[in-house]
Chain A
Amino acid sequence: MIRKLNNKGMTAIEVLVTFVIVVVIVVSMYDGIMDLKNRETIASYKLSLVTYKNLLTKDIQDDLAKIGLATVRTESLTGGTGYRVIMVLRDGSQRYLEVTQIFGCAALDDLEAMDLCDDYGIPRDRSDEFSISYGPPDDLVEYPLPDLGHEVIDYNGEHTIYSLRITGVDVSTSNQVFSIKVTMSHPDLGSRYSLNIVSPINYP
């Protein structure tokens, strides 16, 4: 028996219409997928930063809440590269909280370098360097900031500028209450996830 096959196939216009539909769908989905991809990246950054902040906050607050703060004083780190907060707890032990804040030069050309670096005395080939250390003076533990994106600038020598930067350190001991806010800023996350410690001094 001879079986008759359907060899008609698709016409050119059908192929064309199908192709156009597929292109329209892919193009319309592209923005959405890129947006989701971007949100996923930001969510992972947020998770890293929140985890970092939580660990550091817990280590400091555990000492302040469980043992209690007796006295506190602040001094500058050698070379003005940051701050050291010297805390004496109620059991007589000491804790150091050191914040290193060295800004690199984020300029990409001579014009920017004058505005962003020269005016602030930042060498044009310097990299960012931020970190927080906490612990007893003889056992200080460094908590390096998580890398939430960085840029290697190949201008006036190769150097690195990080997206997450420590942009401010505010310490207060007025009215018998110690507070320190280490502002950590990121272009996508803002400064909501900064380190914020508050504790009374010599609270009975």
Chain B
Amino acid sequence: MKKNNKGFVLVETLVVTVFVMAIFSVIYLNFYPLAGEYERREFYDDVDSKYGAYWMKRFIQSSNYNFQPLLDDINGSQGYAFFTCDLFPEDSEDRQFCNEMWERLEVETVVVTKYKIDSFKQKVEDNPVGFSDDFVAYVEYLPEFIVASLNEAKYRVLVEFQRTAGSNEDVDVYYTYSNMEVRK
């Protein structure tokens, strides 16, 4: 029997090379967005934002804070409420602390929801008006917190911070996010 000892010709080698390069290109194009997503998540629940959210939670939990208007929104059709320092008594020390901390912590938005955020996630997905794209992405990233809180918390606070870094000529503005349970 006559053996085929011809081996590969150049065209065959080229076809295989192009095929392998095409596979690598597909893998790279699928991997690259994942790397971007990972980089974006470094701004979720970072240490500064976590302590910032902690202070917002402390203000909400304060006995001097009038939580009822927020509660009406949370339990009403809206399903969530925007926290504001104005619900502390006028000219009170609490309101001054709250306003000053809001400014120093570079807080942009504070949203109070129920502890489990499954319905809030759905609302934000259906109607993201009033929220930035980055905030919506953070809400999508969060779990639903289906398991009840060990601390018997009923509410959750989600905070958006507008950070600035760099010098005057090259200001770097970016947003960070954090959340924390609230006992009220």
**Which residues of A line the B interface, CB within 8 A?**
6, 14, 17-18, 21, 25, 50, 53-54, 57-58, 61, 65, 172, 175-177, 179, 190-192, 194, 196, 198, 200, 203-204
Given A14-B10, A191-B166, CB of A54 within 8 Å of CB of B172: no
Indicate if B132 sits at the interface (CB-CB under 8 A).
Answer: no
CB-CB under 8 A from B101, the residues of chain A are: 177, 198, 200
Given A14-B10, A177-B101, A200-B97, CB of A6 within 8 Å of CB of B48: no
Indicate if B75 sits at the interface (CB-CB under 8 A).
Answer: no
Instruction: Please measure, in the bound complex, the distance between the C-alpha atom of A50 and the C-alpha atom of B96, giving whole angstroms.
Output: 32
Given A176-B100, A177-B97, CB of A65 within 8 Å of CB of B172: no
Chain B residue nearest to A183 (CB atoms) is: B165
Q: Are A176 and B174 in contact (CB under 8 A)?
A: no
- Per DSSP, chain B at the interface is helix
Given A175-B100, A177-B104, CB of A6 within 8 Å of CB of B5: yes
Q: Are B47 and A57 in contact (CB under 8 A)?
A: yes
Q: Are A65 and B10 in contact (CB under 8 A)?
A: no
CB-CB under 8 A from B54, the residues of chain A are: 65
CB-CB under 8 A from B51, the residues of chain A are: 57, 61, 65, 198
Chain B residue nearest to A175 (CB atoms) is: B100
> B167 → chain A, closest Cβ, in Å?
8
Residue from the list B13, B48, B96, B166 in contact with A176, Cβ < 8 A: B96
Q: Are A194 and B165 in contact (CB under 8 A)?
A: yes
Chain B residue nearest to A192 (CB atoms) is: B165
CB-CB under 8 A from A17, the residues of chain B are: 10
Instruction: Please measure, in the bound complex, the distance between the C-alpha atom of A177 and the C-alpha atom of B96, giving whole angstroms.
Output: 10
Instruction: Please measure, in the bound complex, the distance between the C-alpha atom of A21 and the C-alpha atom of B51, giving whole angstroms.
Output: 56
